[in-house]
Structures are given as C-alpha cells and as structure tokens.
Structure 1
Amino acid sequence: ASTPASVPSSRSRQNPDLVVRVCELGQDGISVVEIDRTLHRERWHTSSGSVWPPRNDGRVVVRTLLQRGISPVAGDAKIHKYIIEYSAKIERAGATPQG
C-alpha cells in the first residue's frame, strides 16, 4: 500500500526490512505487544543500532502500521490509547491542505 504524503513522520528511520516484517505481522492480526516480542526474539535492531528490546512501548510499531494503512491490534491499554491518539494525528494531517 502506498503511504500518503500527508502522513506525519512518514519517513522512517527503521530498516526497510524491519518495516516489511512489522507490516507482515500486523497484517496477520498479531498484537503490537507480540510484534515487539517477535522483533526481539528475531534479533532485529532499532534505528539506533541496539537489539530490539524485549519490552517496548509499542509506539514505533503502531506508527509503522498506521502509516501504511494497517490497523494495529493493541495488546494493552496504553498501546490502545496511543493508537487512538496517533490515528487522530494522521486524520488531522490528512485533512490539512498541502501547499
């Protein structure tokens, strides 16, 4: 799926292969919590080069999925709240006329 130019922070600092993996897992309906665990188990690296942490706040995964039109499955209340907040941010950006 293509990413609209109006999506906030659509230029990812993540490894493109990591983005593909996150999207595969998200499209399979795997929760954000479990995606984070999977990325750690599979020894993926963060944009700063460290191994993906076993416990994460899920924000990178949420942004990656939403920016590519994939609805994330939260897995916990904090992530659910962030999904709502970031979805609203994307909607506001999409409603903003581009110059």
Structure 2
Amino acid sequence: MMMIAPYGTYMHGGALLVNAKSYHASGMENLKFYGWGPEDTERYERWTNLGYRIGYAKGCLFHLSHPRDLNGTHNSNQQKMYSHYLKDTAILSSKEDIRNQMNL
C-alpha cells in the first residue's frame, strides 16, 4: 500500500513537546483562532520569528481519520479567511511585531 504525505515533509503540529517557560513566554496558543485551520503553522512561524529552537523527530506522523464536530470547521468563509490572515501575519511579522500583537 502506498502512503501519500499531503502536508509535505515538515508537518507543523500533530505532536508537540515544549518547555513550559518558553511556551508561556511565547503567548501560548493564539486564541483568535476558531475551528480547524492553520493554527499549528501560525504557532511554528511565531516561535521561529521569536527565535525559538524548533526540532523534528525522525520518522512518520500518522493522522487517524475522525469525524469533525461543530468546532472542527469554520462558521463562515470570512472566519476561514481570518484564520489564514493570522497565519500570514505571523509569517511576515518581526520579533517586535509579534510581542506587540500577543501582548508579550
């Protein structure tokens, strides 16, 4: 059986181990997200721009299929676009920008 990696080589999210002090100092999770979306990529980009060291475990990450409930989707296309805006903002932000946006 052939397996396909639809998200590419470096998956952001899935499994996460963090230093608690660094996690708190980074603003933890961005609570502006709702539903399923690019919050894992936003976190990765934010932490990268803040200068955090990020590593990857060797091997595969498997996603088990599961049904989505009401919180597993967006209420509107506008909400979906806002989630991508948050991710894109993290990609383009400087360390100082992120500290201001996250009130750090």
Indicate whether the TM-score tops 0.5.
no
TM-score interval w.r.t. the shorter chain? Answer: under 0.3
Higher relative contact order (CA 8 A, sep 6+): 2
> Taking structure 2 as the reference length, what is the TM-score of the superposition?
0.26
Larger radius of gyration: 2
TM-score normalised by the chain length of structure 1: 0.27
